[in-house]
């Protein structure tokens, strides 16, 4: 009964989404006030019914209702509670339902946090979000029904994919989807602005907080995915250039460009056409990521679907969204041109170059991701594009991008001069060079020019940010009087610097050994001694495991016990490696069990020393906090309220 209620709630949610996508839009275009006012309540009702549907599917997991095919295929009575809850989105149908629920959450947020935005604009935005919701609800109901019954029902479920039986499943997909789907809101604002012919600074101001929040969620989602892969897959890597990883990275790159472009549009009324285009491309890349994951066109640990029917549906939806958006853009092209003049040496130019580099970087990743798929589809051969391509193309673009972070913050809007700029740059540049070289000489095992470059760039970002903060406070201005958006920018840039430190040092100075070890054998690595003490058999809630014991000592005699596992799950019989990690701010010690080599207790053991790897995820966390602070800036609400008041006055005068 409950699954049927969930299915009915999903159908009702689709009907409400259709009303949401049509009625408010017609009302906004024809100034029919009751139809405009319908937008908020119908969006809230749509959220309520899709939530009911999601809770119904969760109920089937919690009660082990194996008459539902999705539950039978991805659950088990021995599955711990946390995986019964998070397992709902652990495969194709459930993850799509989560996608639709999160879209309704974002739409719900628009209904509550856009009270200062004109009702006509809100109606258009909610209508656009409703159209996106219609597409995904149709996709679920036509090709991916999560409530489909299985007759006869099995006595036991097939269990959740062992690779997903980790706490990472509980936090990574929801966080990533919040970012993915969140970019639908600035997309909707851009489309709504074009429909209403209101492409001024106001729509950019309304879009900025939503963009910042979506970006921070996507940043956290990508970082959590990297962290999960690092400790779960057993080989100590933090980024694979996997096609689906790339699919999440693409909207992040273009979304970062969008954030900066929105700032220029709001403050200087420039880049309007470019900003609208970025809003379209960011959400389009989010949909492309969904297509790659759900269509089955690629092989990945993330890919859940393998049905061509599903892939064709999503591809058609993607073409419809992108095509109609670009058609509207072309129609409104003349009205969204910016006529703002600025000089070569200006903050506008710096931000434009920043945007170009980010888009070129995204294009290079997109090419490397899609090119093998296109060749395969056209039967022109199979090729593999891996880390060598991405590292050689992407990494050279990051150095000038990081360099720009320091320049851009100190350049004036509209026009600046070298005579004014150079004195601001000289001291941070000298200090960055000295600090970078000193750090490599004192705190790394050996001198490396690439390490020096990375550290100089990191110090450059931090010191130039500190110098700009000092100049802003020089006139007696109080620290806490500065806007939150400014602190958000500073933290975002400092997060990039911390991220660069982590990537640089772990890439250059990471060491590893894959060795055969018997009891009491010792391996030295990174100034640590790893002594193998044998393996015991242990039992988990739904698995058995061979648990190794490795004692680690440093030169000071400090003792650390690491206990990696080789698990075999009871249902799917899949062997899984669970690494043991001793985490520290300056290094990680990482041990993973390989295979048993003989009956005398010899095992293959992988040992890693990862310097400063935690700084990668720390940098992402700092960036996310910066995005949150920027989104919380009070001036957005004040300025938006002022705009509404002006609109009302103009309406009264008319």
How do residues 264-295 score in pLDDT, each as one tens digit? 888 887 788 889 999 999 999 998 887 777 65
Measured N-to-C along each axis, helices 92-113 and 2-30 cross at an angle, to the nearest 10 degrees, of: 40
* Distance of alpha carbon 60 from alpha carbon 12, whole angstroms: 20
* 115-116-118 Cα angle (round to 5): 90
CA 148 vs CA 44, 71, 91, 270, 293: distances in Å: 27, 10, 14, 51, 21
DSSP state of 475: T
Dump pLDDT digits (tens) for 600-653.
Answer: 789 999 999 999 999 999 999 999 999 999 888 776 655 545 554 544 443 443
DSSP state of 529: E
Query: Which residue ranges of the chain lie beneath pLDDT 70?
Result: 234, 294-309, 311, 338, 377, 379, 635-654
| pLDDT for 607 | 94
DSSP state of 117: S
Measured N-to-C along each axis, helices 184-196 and 272-295 cross at an angle, to the nearest 10 degrees, of: 130
| pLDDT for 338 | 66
| pLDDT for 304 | 42
CB 318 within 8 A of CB 291: yes
Greatest CA separation found in the chain? 92
* Distance of alpha carbon 215 from alpha carbon 221, whole angstroms: 10
CB 246 within 8 A of CB 209: no
CB 629 within 8 A of CB 484: yes
| pLDDT for 269 | 77
* Distance of alpha carbon 239 from alpha carbon 233, whole angstroms: 11
H/E element holding 231?
A: helix 201-232
* 48-94-47 Cα angle (round to 5): 15
Cis peptide before 152 (omega within 30 of 0): yes
DSSP state of 483: -
| pLDDT for 648 | 47
SS3 state at 80: coil
| CA-based torsion, 453, 455, 456, 458: positive or negative | positive
Structure token digits, residue 223: 């970082």
């Amino acid at each position: 009964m409950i699954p049927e209620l969930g299915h009915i709630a999903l159908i009702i949610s689709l009907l409400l989404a259709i009303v949401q996508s049509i009625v408010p839009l017609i009302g906004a275009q024809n100034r029919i006030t009751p139809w405009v006012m319908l937008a908020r309540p119908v969006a809230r009702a749509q959220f309520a019914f899709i939530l009911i549907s999601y809770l119904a599917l969760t109920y089937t997991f919690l009660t082990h209702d194996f008459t539902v095919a999705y539950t039978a295929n991805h659950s088990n009575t021995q599955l711990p509670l946390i995986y019964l809850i998070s397992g709902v989105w652990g495969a194709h149908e459930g993850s799509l339902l989560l996608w639709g629920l999160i879209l309704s959450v974002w739409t719900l947020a628009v209904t509550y946090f856009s009270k200062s935005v004109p009702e006509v604009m809100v109606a258009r935005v909610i209508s656009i979000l409703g159209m996106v919701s219609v597409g995904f609800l149709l996709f679920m109901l036509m090709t991916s029904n999560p409530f489909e019954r299985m007759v006869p029902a099995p006595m036991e479920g097939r269990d959740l994919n062992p690779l997903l039986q980790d706490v990472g499943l509980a936090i990574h997909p929801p966080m990533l989807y919040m970012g993915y789907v969140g970019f639908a809101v600035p997309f909707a604002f851009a489309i709504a602005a074009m429909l209403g012919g209101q492409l001024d600074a106001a729509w950019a101001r309304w879009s900025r907080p939503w963009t910042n929040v979506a970006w921070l969620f996507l940043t956290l989602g990508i970082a959590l995915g990297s962290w999960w892969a690092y400790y779960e897959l057993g080989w100590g890597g933090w980024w694979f250039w996997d096609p689906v990883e790339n699919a999440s990275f693409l909207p992040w790159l273009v979304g970062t460009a969008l954030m900066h472009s929105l700032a220029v549009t709001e403050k200087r009324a420039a880049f309007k056409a470019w900003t609208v285009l970025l809003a379209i491309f960011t959400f389009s890349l989010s949909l492309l990521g969904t297509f790659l994951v759900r269509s089955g066109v690629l092989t990945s640990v993330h890919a859940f679907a393998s049905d061509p029917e599903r892939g064709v549906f999503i591809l058609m939806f993607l073409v419809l969204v992108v095509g109609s958006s670009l058609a509207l853009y072309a129609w409104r092209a003349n009205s969204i041109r910016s006529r703002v003049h600025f000089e070569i040496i200006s903050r506008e130019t710096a931000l434009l170059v920043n945007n170009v580099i980010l888009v070129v970087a995204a294009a290079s990743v997109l090419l490397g991701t899609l090119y093998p798929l296109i060749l395969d589809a056209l039967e022109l051969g199979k090729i593999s594009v891996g880390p060598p391509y991405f590292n050689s193309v992407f990494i050279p673009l990051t150095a000038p991008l990081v360099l720009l972070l320091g320049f851009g913050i100190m350049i004036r809007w509209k026009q600046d001069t070298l005579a004014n700029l150079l004195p601001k740059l000289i001291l941070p540049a000298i200090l960055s060079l000295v600090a970078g070289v000193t750090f490599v000489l004192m705190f790394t095992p050996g001198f490396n020019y690439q390490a020096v470059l990375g550290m100089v760039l990191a110090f450059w970002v931090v010191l130039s940010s500190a110098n700009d903060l000092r100049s802003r406070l020089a006139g007696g201005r109080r620290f806490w009087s500065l806007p939150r958006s400014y602190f958000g920018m500073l933290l975002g840039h400092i997060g990039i610097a911390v991220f660069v430190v982590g990537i640089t040092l772990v890439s250059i100075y990471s060491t590893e050994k894959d060795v055969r070890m018997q009891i009491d054998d010792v391996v030295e690595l990174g100034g640590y001694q790893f002594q193998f003490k044998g393996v015991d058999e242990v039992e988990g809630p739904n698995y058995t495991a061979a648990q190794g014991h490795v004692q680690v000592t440093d030169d000071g005699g400090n003792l650390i016990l690491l206990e990696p596992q080789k698990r075999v799950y009871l249902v799917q019989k899949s062997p899984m490696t669970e690494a043991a990690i001793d985490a520290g701010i300056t290094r990680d010690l990482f041990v993973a069990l390989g295979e048993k080599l003989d009956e005398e207790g010899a095992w293959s053991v992988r040992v890693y020393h990862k310097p400063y790897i935690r700084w990668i995820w720390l940098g992402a966390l700092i960036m996310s906090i910066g995005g949150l602070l920027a989104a919380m800036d009070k001036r957005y609400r004040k300025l938006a309220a002022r705009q509404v008041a002006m609109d009302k006055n103009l309406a009264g005068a008319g």
